[in-house]
Structure 1
Amino acid sequence: MLSKVKRAACYKAFGISAAFSFASLVTIPAHAQTITAVMQSGLRVMDPVVSTAFITRDHGYMIYDTLLGMNEKFEIKPQMAEKWEVAEDQKTYTFTLRDGLKWHDGAPVTSEDCVASLKRWAQQDSTGQVLMTMVSDIAVVDGKSFKVVLKEPTSLLLESLAKLSSRPAFMMPKRIAETPASESIKEFIGSGPFKFVASEFKPGLKVVYDKNKDYVPRSEPASWTAGGKVVNVDRVQWAAMPDQMTPVNALMNGEIDFIQQVPFDLLPMLENNNDVNVEVLDKLGNWTYYRFNHLHPPFNNKLLRQAAMHAVGQDDVLKALVGNPKYAKTCAAVFGCDTPYADTYGKDVVIPSNIDKAKQLLKEANYDGTPIVVLQPTDLAMVAPQPIVIASALRKAGFKVDLKTMDWQSVVTQQGNQKSPSEGGWNIFSTYSTLATSGNPFGNTTVAANGTKAWAGWPEVPEIEKLRLEFARATDETKRKEITAQIQKLAIDEGVVGPLGQFSVPAAYSKKLTGVLASPITVFWNIKKSDK
């Protein structure tokens, strides 16, 4: 059972009376079968085009759908699309929507909706931005079909529409998709397997999703984001609990059903529980990294970025983050180790901590003591330790560091702030990505380097953008490997991203749940819940 202190703290966080049971986090209709899950953080930023946060992406997969999906073999499969046809010159793709697609408000999904959604997505997404330089037109053919006309043949179109990483190409109603890409949408209606219950949403605390009874799943077996998204429960509710012990106790007591990420130090409590399954659902794992703000001092200076990269050691980070070597290893590759585009360039820079080299570079760069603002989330176990280790290493090297603590959703919001640190901006933040979504120059958001159009950090390295375009045009795998090796070198030399190593995170769930899918994205279709 939860201790009285922890139970009271949990109730207080959710704004409910301690007279109610833990299960009454939300109002549950009589006889409704519900999965209660504790996710990695609370949800506040809900527009999956505006944010790259995984919790926002996971929310997107609950209520939206994609034209194409990707299965566990990395094969691209139709999802909302019934089919696509390619012209003989390989430059015109015609997509036809499958029957039975409806928005959550009951309106039919049309090709106009899809065209508007693609155009908005492509304005913000780093892959979409490159893709649109190769597109001459996206146009409606009829109510169920639209075409994409390319300037030149490329595999990037299908790869973009099926990609798993942050900012997937989710489809929205036209009226919503016409919201400027620089602004957050205000209405959350998709065509996906779950409906967002706006009346029960408490930002940062809880989210409720009802089964979309009008959803028509595909007939193929579910695999990653492809196949049939069959929902077997009435609703799913996400609960945010910053105190990591609270969900662990709640799961053991049968008060919740699922924990997305179990802190490594608490694993033994669940591994020895006969009523709980502990499993790494993302078999490929994750890589963790940090980003410099290239727009403002001091990290607009390449030498100082290099100094910081020499100061920070991966072993120190992984010991603080994971501890157990079973779940972690060092890796210099920006596209991941043990992947087709793995590369060891820069291992002498990013793996060991070399404080003496860092001090030497600080002296060469005439570092003037400008404070380094490092963002640290306090409520996301898989990110909270990295900034502390980074700050410690930078201080040893001679940097002046200001560790700025906040919750993860505040970090997510702050990431897009391009103001100087003295005006409320930042110099460094850290996060992580799944390797399944980071293995090439387009799935990997961190290597885009087109200045203020790039992801947070805004590096400007024209050579990388040229190479990404060459990768999109290349059909020969040997050529693609040559290109990614050049990107690896530039990413390290220019401080585009600082790799901190690789790790896997176990999930834990009640044995009442069956059909939990192994996937790099946490999904709640296919799951059945026993009442016993």
Structure 2
Amino acid sequence: MILSRLAALSFVAALALPIPAQAQPVPARTLRVAPHADLKTLDPVAASIVITRMHGLMIYETLFAWDAKLNPKPQMVESFSTSADGLAWTFTLRPGLKFHDGQPVTTRDVIASLKRWMVRDTIGGKLGEYTDATEVVDDKTFTLKLKRPMALVPFALGSAVGQIPVIMRESDAVTDPMKPVTEAIGSGPFRFNRAEWRSGAKVVYDRNPDYVPRAEPADGLAGGRVVKLDRVEWLIMPDPATAAAALQTGEIDIWEQPSQDLIPVIARSGDIKVDRYSSLANQVMLRPNHLYPPFNNPKARLALAYATDQADFLAGGFGDEQWWRRCNSYFICGSPNGTEAGAEAFSKPDLETARRLLAESGYKGEKLVLSSSYDIAPIGRMAEVAADSLKKVGFNVDVQFSDWGTVTTRQQNRGAPEQGGWNLFVTYASGATMQSPMTNIGTNMACEKAWAGWPCDAEAERLRGAVVDAPDDASRKLAIEILHRRLAEVQPYRVLGQFDQPYARRSNVTGVLNAPVMLFWNIEKN
């Protein structure tokens, strides 16, 4: 049945998407991938979701890039210097940077892009607080002037998490930062093939023949982005059984996020390899909307922490315990910042405490909308676990399922839940995103500048600033512990533990890099 269905889908796709024979690269130079979700939003500054970030890294570049150990290295930048007082950073772009429409990349494009990113992103917003001015020196050189020193400037400019600081054309970047850019013209190693884009079915990227990679070896996101393929196709396969069958038959080469329950099946094939592409575990979270009752009250948010057992969620979402672990650190257990200070009481559920806190919050049993999707199966399963867990302590949860694109669009809706907004959602984010107070999108509690859920706590923000201002590693570690204790009190979201996300590839595919998201340069298909 699965194979027949797959063949039928392939046949329909072939009829619906005719491509002239002369435009097709040879099969060995085309990589076919089943991604974890469909691509809906093209602008990686407007959306922090992983599929849009993957898309952004295909077609755009950033000034710096994180290597496999999350250290920033120059990418679009050829050289840079810092003034003696640490208040002026001067950057010169490397030669050969050109947008896909043929225009050269200039510092006017860079400055417009950085200003737009600083409005939207967690680490970008923090850098924006420190920035006094950005000034053009010439077409290839610009200066970033700070109000006070900030040692983490290259780390911020190389961010590969949240809304990433990609460099767009000035004409795209000067638009309203709260509205997604619909163009997809960058200067990166791949070009977005808009003509062959079929929402819900197929996304195509072609090798950019004009791209000049750096000379250094590839290392995470850093180094030479050498493309060894002519074409990458993302084939949207929301049904895990269909994706598994396609991988086994060779219709696809990579399954980016295989369903955990099917890993033992596909791993038995000698032609398929299952591996991890990131050394840091991902974090699962239950995100409340802080704008509306009951979660505008921290007691209701604390009730979430006491009502939930991480093991229930992780087993429901990811199956075998070899892939997950309990962890109450906002900044990832196993990372340099992985403290659980202040969160010790949440290691096991305490239903009586949850009920008491919920009552004290003033909640009277009103319906709460939990928005979710089975397009990403673990998220859908964990949403059902959330509903069951929260009902036990008195929450009246209504799980509303839709496609993932609709869920992520709804997450940006600040309206009341009964008017198309929401109260809760379950999601997860990469360890690279969550391991630092500078990049953790969920612990940004800067009110309207925060990520969906819009938590607001001046003390947490003051303490997050203290982490940035820390003069050395020892003082920064202490500042992170103090911040974490505050976060455990105010609960911007309920940490649900962490998991490793494997990917699966056919054995003739090599060169997948260790990075926060799957990258497609350096990959070879033999």
CA distance in 2, matches of 1:10, 1:305: 47
The residue aligned with 1:86 is 82
Q: 1:218 aligns with which of 192, 202, 214?
A: 214
Q: 1:57 and 2:45 equivalent?
A: no
The residue aligned with 2:448 is 452
Residue pair 1:102, 1:191 contacting (<8 A) in 2 also: yes
Amino acid at match of 2:101: D
Equivalence map 1:420-459=2 (5 Å): 420-459=416-455
CA distance in 2, matches of 1:380, 1:30: 31
Q: 1:5 and 2:5 equivalent?
A: yes
CA distance in 2, matches of 1:36, 1:55: 16
The residue aligned with 2:301 is 305
Residue pair 1:62, 1:523 contacting (<8 A) in 2 also: yes
Residue pair 2:433, 2:441 contacting (<8 A) in 1 also: no
Change (3 A) 1:248 1:226: same
- TM-score normalised by L of structure 1: 0.95
For the aligned residue pairs, the C-alpha RMSD in angstroms reads: 1.7
Q: 2:228 aligns with which of 214, 224, 232?
A: 232
Equivalence map 1:37-436=2 (5 Å): 37-436=33-432
Residue pair 1:293, 1:300 contacting (<8 A) in 2 also: yes
Q: Return the offset for 1:10.
A: 6.4
Per-residue CA deviation, residues 423-447 of structure 1 (Å, 9 max, x unaligned), is: 1110011211111232111111111
Per-residue CA deviation, residues 24-66 of structure 1 (Å, 9 max, x unaligned), is: 7976724432101011100001111111101000100000001
CA distance in 1, matches of 2:421, 2:329: 29
Match of 2:263, SS? helix
Change (3 A) 1:67 1:428: same
Per-residue CA deviation, residues 130-167 of structure 1 (Å, 9 max, x unaligned), is: 21121111011001001101111111321110122121
CA distance in 1, matches of 2:336, 2:319: 28
CA distance in 1, matches of 2:200, 2:349: 36
Match of 1:499, SS? strand
Residue pair 1:139, 1:147 contacting (<8 A) in 2 also: yes
Residue pair 2:343, 2:485 contacting (<8 A) in 1 also: no
Select between 58-67 and 314-323 the one with higher mean Cα deviation. 314-323
Residue pair 1:217, 1:230 contacting (<8 A) in 2 also: yes
Q: 1:487 and 2:483 equivalent?
A: yes
Per-residue CA deviation, residues 313-333 of structure 1 (Å, 9 max, x unaligned), is: 101011101221111100000
Amino acid at match of 1:39: P
CA distance in 1, matches of 2:366, 2:479: 36
Q: 1:525 and 2:521 equivalent?
A: yes
Q: Return the offset for 1:312.
A: 1.2
Q: Return the offset for 1:2.
A: 4.7
Amino acid at match of 1:143: D
CA distance in 1, matches of 2:187, 2:25: 25
Amino acid at match of 2:400: K
Residue pair 1:10, 1:241 contacting (<8 A) in 2 also: no
Q: Return the offset for 1:170.
A: 0.4
Residue pair 1:262, 1:506 contacting (<8 A) in 2 also: yes
Residue pair 1:288, 1:430 contacting (<8 A) in 2 also: yes
Q: Return the offset for 1:9.
A: 5.3
Select between 438-447 and 61-70 the one with higher mean Cα deviation. 438-447
CA distance in 2, matches of 1:166, 1:302: 25
CA distance in 2, matches of 1:194, 1:419: 37
CA distance in 1, matches of 2:164, 2:362: 42
Residue pair 1:62, 1:192 contacting (<8 A) in 2 also: yes
Match of 2:218, SS? coil
Q: 2:504 aligns with which of 493, 498, 508?
A: 508
Per-residue CA deviation, residues 294-320 of structure 1 (Å, 9 max, x unaligned), is: 101121122111112211110101110
Runs (5+) with no aligned partner, structure 1: none
Equivalent pairs counted in the alignment come to: 523
Per-residue CA deviation, residues 353-373 of structure 1 (Å, 9 max, x unaligned), is: 222221222233342111111
Match of 1:413, SS? helix
Q: Return the offset for 1:340.
A: 1.8
Amino acid at match of 1:100: G
Change (3 A) 1:388 1:76: same
Q: Return the offset for 1:8.
A: 3.1
Residue pair 2:25, 2:231 contacting (<8 A) in 1 also: no
CA distance in 2, matches of 1:335, 1:11: 46
Runs (5+) with no aligned partner, structure 2: none
Q: Return the offset for 1:346.
A: 4.5
Residue pair 2:43, 2:181 contacting (<8 A) in 1 also: yes
Amino acid at match of 2:127: L
CA distance in 1, matches of 2:239, 2:142: 48
Change (3 A) 1:472 1:171: same
CA distance in 2, matches of 1:346, 1:355: 19
Q: Return the offset for 1:519.
A: 2.0
Select between 374-383 and 40-49 the one with higher mean Cα deviation. 374-383
Q: Return the offset for 1:348.
A: 4.3
* Aligned-residue identity in percent: 38
Q: Return the offset for 1:495.
A: 1.8
Match of 1:487, SS? helix
Match of 2:52, SS? helix
Residue pair 2:300, 2:358 contacting (<8 A) in 1 also: yes
CA distance in 2, matches of 1:11, 1:240: 15
Change (3 A) 1:526 1:367: same
